[in-house]
Every structure is written in structure tokens, then in C-alpha cells.
Amino acid sequence: MKDFHIAPETRIGFIALKVADLQSMSDFYTKIVGFDILKQTEDTTYLGVRINQQVLLTLRHVPAKATDTLKTGLEHFAILLPHSSQLGLMLEHVQSNDIKLTGLYENGYSQAFDIIDPEGNGVEFAVDKSIELWQSMDKFDWENEVTRTIKAADILQHKSGHLSGLPSGTTIGHVQLRVKNMAATADFYTKSLGFNLKKTGDTKERFLSAGDYHHHIGVNLAGEDRDQLQLIGDNDLGLDFVNIVLPGVSEMDLLLQNLEDNGVKGYDYSAANHYLMLQDPNNIRLWFSIA
């Protein structure tokens, strides 16, 4: 399909992780990150915000052990908070629990900080800047991916109220993926899936979006070790899949037609449930559903 673009209302629904220690990871994501447990089975925990019962993260136990082998998959996922006051409260909470920060930064459209979960998955807490909050238009730039390091005080200054878990309105803002071949990956996400490629001056990183959002998916090469990067397998710890939500059935039909037109094979589609599961060139699984 010529000039196909994925629907601008497309968003990240939830992130699914494969974990070795389900109890430890469930404790971390409830006590430290602030998720509520919405459902539990023998091998899977479903996490989200209780007030709206929206699943944002799943943890599935697999009988695997951690390895030092670098593989494609998840760099981090971003928990997008509705307001900077909540970002400040979350930072205060994380620091009070002696969780190591791996980054504090700001760019043209957001403030954020990063931590790492007990099994090595990156977790970002972020807030998109609003014109009302930041006042000056020249401080708000949707296209500006250049980040600068900031101090904790720059985030803490906005905190107000008290923290009682993740607030209503929390979503998964974006996912950052570790990939092996940038050209093949960018080609797949733009031509086959219809994401927009955003401007960036870094040849080792790409940002992809639906509509005019800053980005829903980031992809990056694995630095100097990328030649040793292996493709993630079904039983490897880390990313299980990324759920991407389309606005409706017609948008799913257009995506399926575009996959067909681009010769994409090997995907699974359930017409009854409108579920589409496929793999990108890095063995990273994507699960498309409709809102």
C-alpha cells in the first residue's frame, strides 16, 4: 500500500516481560513502581492502575536463568505520568527506598528519570511537558530529542500532595528497543507497519511515532558490542512482547493489507478477536489489538 501510515491514534497498550522470579518482580513493581495487581495466575501477574483496571504490564514466569549474553529486546519502557507533581513524588519515593537512579534528564518535550528492575529491565518515569506548565514555547519542542542531564531537585521542585500508587491517567508512553540491524529495523517499522520516522542526528538511534507524538518506539544499536548481539529467543528473560493498540477494526484491516503488500509473512491473525502477532527483524514480538 503506497504511503501507508499507521493510524495517528495508535498507542502503546502494555509491556509483557518474561521473568525468572515472579514474586520478587511482582513485589518490585507494586512496592517500588506503584502498580496494582489486577489479576494473578500461577505463572503470570497482571499489573496496572486499579481505578480503571487497565493492564499496563504483565510478568510471566519462564524457567530460565539470567545470562550476560547481550540480546535484542528491551532497553527500557516509559511509565508516563499525567503531571510533573506526580513525577516529583515518584522520584522522592524511589530515593527513599534506596533504589539507584541510572539517569535524570530533560529534553525538548519531557522530564524523566530511570531505574533498573531486579532482572535488568530499564524503567523510565516520565512526564510530557505542557505549555501551561512550562509557560514558554521555546522550552517545548516535540522534535528535540537532545537530552541534558539534570539534578533531582529539578524534578522534586514540582512535587505536591502525597503518593498512593500510580495515579489514574498513567500510561505506557513509549518503549526503547535494542536492535541488531538499524536499516532493516527502520525499514520494517516504517514501510511494513507505517510508523513515522522522526528526525535525529544520531545514526545509532531512531525514533518512530504514530501521528505527531514525539515517539512511541525508540530503537538503538547496542554500542560497541552490537556485533556480538544475539537475537532474543522464546525462553530468554526480558521482553515477551509489546502490545500496540489500534483505534478500530478498519485500521487493523489497513495494516493487514499493508503487510500483505510488503510481502510480510509468518504473522498470526485472529479475525474473531482482532489480534495480530508478528515479529520484527530482531525477533521482537509485537501484539496488535484494537481499542
Contact 242, 172 (CB under 8 A): no
| Number of other CB atoms surrounding residue 167 within 10 Å | 18
Residue 120 in grid coordinates: 535488568
CATH 3.10.180.10 holds for 11-290: yes
* Nearest of 139, 113, 111 to residue 127 by alpha carbon: 111
Contact 111, 154 (CB under 8 A): yes
Contact 155, 87 (CB under 8 A): yes
Specify the pLDDT at position 135. 45
What does the alpha-carbon distance between residue 164 and residue 101 come to, in Å, rounded to a whole number? 21
Residue 160 in grid coordinates: 505536591
Amino acid at site 157: Q
* Nearest of 289, 285, 276, 287 to residue 246 by alpha carbon: 289
pTM: 0.93
Specify the pLDDT at position 140. 46
What does the alpha-carbon distance between residue 149 and residue 111 come to, in Å, rounded to a whole number? 10
Contact 208, 214 (CB under 8 A): no
Specify the pLDDT at position 137. 47
Specify the pLDDT at position 131. 47
Residue 54 carries which DSSP code?
E
Per-residue pLDDT of the chain (291 residues; tens, 9 = 90+): 678 999 999 999 999 999 999 999 999 999 999 999 999 999 999 999 999 999 999 999 999 888 888 899 999 999 999 999 999 999 999 999 999 999 999 987 889 999 999 999 999 999 998 744 544 445 445 455 567 899 999 999 999 988 999 999 999 999 999 999 999 999 999 999 999 998 776 778 899 999 988 899 999 986 555 567 899 999 999 999 999 999 999 999 999 999 999 999 999 999 999 999 999 999 999 999 999
C-alpha radius of gyration, the chain, whole number: 19
The cell 536499516 sits on which residue? 183
Contact 126, 87 (CB under 8 A): yes
Residue 127 in grid coordinates: 512526564
* Nearest of 276, 145, 289 to residue 219 by alpha carbon: 145
Strand partners for 71:
230
